[in-house]
Amino acid sequence: MNRKNLSIVLNIVAIAGFILLATVVAIRYSHFIVNIVSNPQKFKNWVLSFGHLGVLVFILIQILQVIISAIPGEAVQISGGYLYGTLLGTVYSLIGIMIGSVCVFYITRLLGYSLVRKIVSEEKLKKFYLLINSPKGEIALFLLFLIPGLPKDILTYIAGLSPIKPLRFFAIVAIARLPGIFFSSYIGSSIEEKNYTIAIIVSALAFILFVLGVVYKDNIIKTIHNFIHKKGSSNL
């Protein structure tokens, strides 16, 4: 077997291994994680049962949420705020999201298009890749990560296919996702402190923004596409 064929075989084995591992984790643990993070008090009791390792467990859950999109990110972040307060909840969630993003980004860089094609539909892959792999792709990425209701986790997989420099990508992810993480943590903290009025108001606003993002997703993406393809504009 020549070097080229060996490389192809190893790539196929690596992709199959990653998909198999992700599938096993999703089947075995995602249902449990989804159920437990949906109940902040139950999640708090579970995390605290690990003692000093509780913070690491929470960060690990947030990492898995980035890798396995079936786990709802907002629920994890709200539970983080409920457990650790607004500030630390935001910090721990951001750490987990950044580690997860680094993992996904470099796994995609290593395994390439064949992996992403197994995770993301051809339609979404083509739509988002055209936005990201453009002269103003970094602006597009920032807006896509910032606006609620858009599929942020698959963007990390797709971004790994683009020529964007890793450190610039990670900076974009951190800055763009920080507001959403903060407000989710704030909601969780308000619930824990029994500030239900504030929690309801902020949750309602967040829900409205999320629904608008989902409902008008195609229009938002089209607007971003038209914006980044205007002539004479510079990149970030």
Question: Can you list the residues of the chain whose pLDDT is less than 50?
Answer: 232-236
So what's the pLDDT on residue 218?
81
Each domain of the chain, given as residue ranges in start order, spans 39-230
pLDDT score recorded for residue 224:
83
Q: What pLDDT does 188 receive? A: 93
Secondary structure of the chain in the HEC alphabet? CCHHHHHHHHHHHHHHHHHHHHHHHHHHHHHHHHHHHCCHHHHHHHHHCCHHHHHHHHHHHHHHHHHCCCCCHHHHHHHHHHHHHHHHHHHHHHHHHHHHHHHHHHHHHHHCHHHHHHHCCHHHHHHHHHHHCCCCHHHHHHHHHHCCCCCHHHHHHHHCCCCCCHHHHHHHHHHHHHHHHHHHHHHHHHHHCCCHHHHHHHHHHHHHHHHHHHHCHHHHHHHHHHHHCCCCCCCC
Residue 232 has a pLDDT of 43
> What's the pLDDT at 56?
93
Say what the pLDDT of residue 182 is: 95
